[in-house]
A and B are shown apart, each in its own frame.
Chain A
Amino acid sequence: EPEVTQTPSHQVTQMGQEVILRCVPISNHLYFYWYRQILGQKVEFLVSFYNNEISEKSEIFDDQFSVERPDGSNFTLKIRSTKLEDSAMYFCAVQRTGPYNEQFFGPGTRLTVL
Chain B
Amino acid sequence: ILNVEQSPQSLHVQEGDSTNFTCSFPSSNFYALHWYRWETAKSPEALFVMTLNGDEKKKGRISATLNTKEGYSYLYIKGSQPEDSATYLCAHPNQAGTALIFGKGTTLSVSS
Contacts and interface: CB of A to CB of B under 8 A. Distances in A.
Interface stretch (B12-20, B53-61, B69-77, B98-106): B98-106
Contacts of B36: 105
B54 to A, nearest CB: 18
Interface string A99-110: 111111111100
A104 B44 CA distance: 8
A100 B32 contact: yes
A33 interface: yes
Contacts of B89: 43
A75 interface: no
A107 B42 contact: yes
Interface residues of B, number: 26
Given A45-B101, A48-B98, A48-B99, A103 B46 contact: yes
A56 interface: yes
B99 A104 contact: no
Nearest to A2: B43
A42 B104 CA distance: 5
Contacts of B96: 55-56, 99
A42 B89 CA distance: 9
Interface in A16-74: 33, 35, 41-45, 48, 50, 55-56, 58
B37 to A, nearest CB: 11
A58 B31 CA distance: 19
A31 to B, nearest CB: 8
Interface of B: 31-32, 34, 36, 41-46, 49, 51, 89, 91, 93-94, 96-105
Given A43-B44, A56-B96, A101-B49, 12 more contacts: A33-B99, A35-B100, A42-B102, A43-B91, A45-B101, A48-B98, A50-B98, A56-B99, A93-B100, A100-B32, A105-B45, A107-B42
